[in-house]
Structure 1
C-alpha cells in the first residue's frame, strides 16, 4: 500500500483534481506520520532552488525549529510539522 501512495505522489501534476484515498487500516502508518504535513511541488524547477526554498520557508512561517523540510524529488517536497 505504501508503494501505491509513493507512486501516486510521484505522479501528481498540477492538473490532478482527484484526491488520494488512504485506507483506514491501523497498520497503514503513513496517515499518522504525515497527518500534519504539507506536500507540494516547485512550479518551475529549472529556475527555483529546492534547497533554498526548504531552508527559507520555516523562517517565512516563523517556525524555526518546529518544521522539517524534505526534498522528495527534483520538484516535489514535503514539510513535516511538530504540531498543528
Structure 2
C-alpha cells in the first residue's frame, strides 16, 4: 500500500481506496531559545518501575552526585524523570560518574 491509500470494508470485502493528499505548511521559526533551555537537562527512565521509588530517587541522586541545591528533579510520569542543572559543569561531572543505576 502506498502513502495516501487506505483499506476500507465494502460489502464484506476489503477494498483499497485512495485518499486525497493534504498539504500542510509549517512556518519557519527559530528554535534556538527552546534548545538552549534544555541544554543542561538530563532525562532518564526506570528500568524496573514496579520496584523503584521515584520520590526517593529524586531526593537521593542529587546527594549522591553532590550537587544538592544546584539541580531540580522532576517526575515526568510513566517511570520517566528529568533533572535540570543550574551549571553546565555539574551535568558534565554527573555524566562522568557512570554507570548510572539506582536501587537495583
Shift of 1:28: 5.7
What's 2:38 paired with?
Answer: 34
Higher relative CO (Cα under 8 Å, sequence separation at least 6) belongs to 1
Specify which structure has the higher proportion of strand: 2
Deviation at 1:32? 1.4
Larger Rg, first or second structure (1 or 2): 2
TM-score by length of 1: 0.65
**As a proportion of its length, which structure holds more helix?**
1
Q: What stretches of structure 2 of length at least 5 have no aligned partner?
A: 1-28, 89-104
Aligned to 2:75: 71
Unpaired stretches in structure 1, ≥5 consecutive residues: 1-24
TM-score under structure 2 length normalisation: 0.53
